[in-house]
Amino acid sequence: MSSDPLRRRRSTHAALAAHGEAWVWLTGGCLALAMTMIIGLLGYIVSEGVATFWPRPIELIELTDGRKVLGEETGRDKAPDGTGRRLVRTANFELTGKHFEWFDDGDVTATTRPAEATVVERLEGGRFQGFPTRLLHGDEVVAAGGEEAWRGFREKHPDVRRRWREAWRIDKGDRGVLQRKLRAARLAVVRAGLSAGADSPAEAAAAAAEKAVAAEVEAQERRLDERTAELRAGNDGWGLEFTTASGETVVLPMADIVRAWQPNKASFQERLGVYASRWGEFLGDDPREANSAGGVFPAIWGTIAMTLIMALLVAPFGVLAALYLREYASRGPLTAAVRIAINNLAGVPSIVYGAFGLGFFCYVLGGSIDELLFRPALVADGQPTFGTGGLLWASLTLALLTLPVVIVATEEALSAVPNSMREGSYACGASKWQTIRRIVLPRALPGIMTGLILAMARGAGEVAPLMLVGVKKLALDLPIDGTFPYVHPEREFMHLAYLIYDVGFQSPNSQAAKPMVFTITFLLVAIIALLNVAAIWIRGRLRRRYVSQQF
């Protein structure tokens, strides 16, 4: 019977597809590819971002044409004709007109690492590289000779910096406070004029008050002037004389030097010190040199504040909207249409939200608020208060942008609440709202948090709409400070994601700014990750409390 033609023949090996292993490889391979890309991207950002502030050695390069340059090698590649070449950060922009220069390998005759080669970070003008020769104070030579001068510099520099910092703080902080006080008094005059009429006793009183304030402010300013003049005088005359690799002599005023280091000579600890101090400046200070150096503190502040305000705004709106859709609205074509519309909103390009935010929030809403509450400012100097981009409007715009995410996630979470719980509550005589508030919402809270986490991740990384509704290249006044009313949601702010664009692509010295871009990106990713981890931690706690398996 073995030759029965109807009998199905069995192969000795099952087909590969029948084992299903082909699918394991395909699906696993896709996951591996995705993971590789993500890990590769993050790894690249982290490695580049972390390395930015590490002091690297600088080299004295001698060229065939007799030139000598001092610089840090930052890149290497092959010219089109196949010869190798290197990109060197030569700095000393005021002398050469360049920050970076390419050198063909063939033109280089010798490279050495002189121990006394010094890198100087300045307040403006980019880096300076050279050999210190003398420490000067006015006409007097305090120390001569490379080693002596360097030692003297290290001794005097902290004092100089301290004086500079104090003067800077006075200029930025105290004078700002005085100016605001003066403006408030001026606005009071305008307000009195608007409400009680020009030449009214009220206005006269306000004008008198303004005069008093002006006199007081002037007196205080004079005191500040004296103080800053004294501080600056203390710094005046202090200078460090350098010889560059090409032989020129340059005296750098000590007050202009942010920090200086001798990377070829520095021990590991000294390098670590420089590294830490540069990170400290990066995280805690204001930017300088068109954002390509210094710190990003205002941007960190702006990013976190905006993201949190956005989350606070979007959560109630999104949750309430989803509650209506899921718990109250009757199932029907209209509900389905609304749901589709919400899903589509998630696909609208973000710049459209930016345009809407500018047109509606800033101009219409903000304009009305100005008209109603801040009219004196409009009349006095034509300056809008809420009628322009600001932290509040940017947060609102992003809240709108992330609303669909929250609504969809909340709906999912609500539909995952077992109906038996709702029925149990109804059977106890609870009303619909009591059931929602006491049973459904607590149980759905972890799912809602998931939506919020997604929304925060999306919102914190958004740039395009922010450019229209309040993010600025430079905005050093934080939205919370010591002047009444302490919280200023109308102020423009800085944002890390925008800073990436600005520093990376709008900077006059883009080659030098490149490492900064990596560091800012690293910081942004880290902040978003931190916010997410915090939210996930909260979600875990809620889940343990409210959601647990039934049996």
Partner 1 sequence: MSTSPSPADPRQPPPSAGPATDRLAVVAAGGQVEPEVHERVRQTPAVLEIDRFNLWYGTKQALHSITMPIPHGKVTALIGPSGCGKSTLLRSVNRLNDLVPSVRITGEMRLNGDPIYDQRMDVIELRKRMGMVFQRPNPFPMSIYENVVYALRIDGESRRPVLDEVCERSLRGAALWDEVKDRLSESALGLSGGQQQRLCIARAIAAEPEVLLLDEPCSALDPIATGKVEELIQELRGLYSVLIVTHNMQQASRSSDYTAFMYLGRLIEYGPTTDIFTKPVLRETEAYVTGRFG
Instruction: Name the residues that contact partner 1, by CB under 8 A.
Output: 330-331, 418, 420-421, 423-431, 434, 438-439, 442-443, 545-551
Nearer to partner 1, 269 or 548 (CB): 548
Q: How far is the CB of 426 from partner 1 (least distance, A)?
A: 6
Picking from 126, 115, 149, the residue whose alpha carbon sits closest to that of residue 242 is 149
Q: How far is the CB of 438 from partner 1 (least distance, A)?
A: 7
Report the alpha-carbon distance of residue 382 to residue 367 in Å, rounded: 12
Picking from 232, 242, 216, 398, the residue whose alpha carbon sits closest to that of residue 307 is 398
Q: Which two tokens stand for residue 466?
A: 């922010």
Contact predicate 306/394, CB 8 Å: yes
Report the alpha-carbon distance of residue 264 to residue 285 in Å, rounded: 27
Provide the CB-side half-sphere exposure for 244 (13 A, CA): 21
Nearer to partner 1, 169 or 437 (CB): 437
Distances (CA, A) of 483 to 42, 154, 204, 433, 493: 40, 38, 26, 43, 17
Using left for φ > 0, alpha for ψ between -120 and 50, and beta otherwise, residue 300 falls in: alpha
Q: How far is the CB of 416 from partner 1 (least distance, A)?
A: 12
Q: How far is the CB of 433 from partner 1 (least distance, A)?
A: 10
Q: How far is the CB of 466 from partner 1 (least distance, A)?
A: 39
Q: How far is the CB of 325 from partner 1 (least distance, A)?
A: 16
CB-count burial class (<10 Å; 0-12, 13-18, 19+) for 91: buried
Using left for φ > 0, alpha for ψ between -120 and 50, and beta otherwise, residue 100 falls in: beta
Q: How far is the CB of 422 from partner 1 (least distance, A)?
A: 8
Nearer to partner 1, 24 or 416 (CB): 416
Dihedral sign computed on CA atoms, order 30, 36, 42, 45 = negative
Nearer to partner 1, 162 or 545 (CB): 545
Distances (CA, A) of 81 to 78, 85, 107, 108, 447: 8, 11, 15, 17, 59
Q: How far is the CB of 301 from partner 1 (least distance, A)?
A: 38
Nearer to partner 1, 165 or 437 (CB): 437
Q: How far is the CB of 324 from partner 1 (least distance, A)?
A: 17
Contact predicate 244/250, CB 8 Å: yes
Report the alpha-carbon distance of residue 70 to residue 162 in Å, rounded: 30
Nearer to partner 1, 328 or 484 (CB): 328
Q: How many of the other CB atoms lie within 10 Å of CB of 340?
A: 10
Nearer to partner 1, 160 or 439 (CB): 439
Nearer to partner 1, 12 or 548 (CB): 548
Nearer to partner 1, 156 or 422 (CB): 422
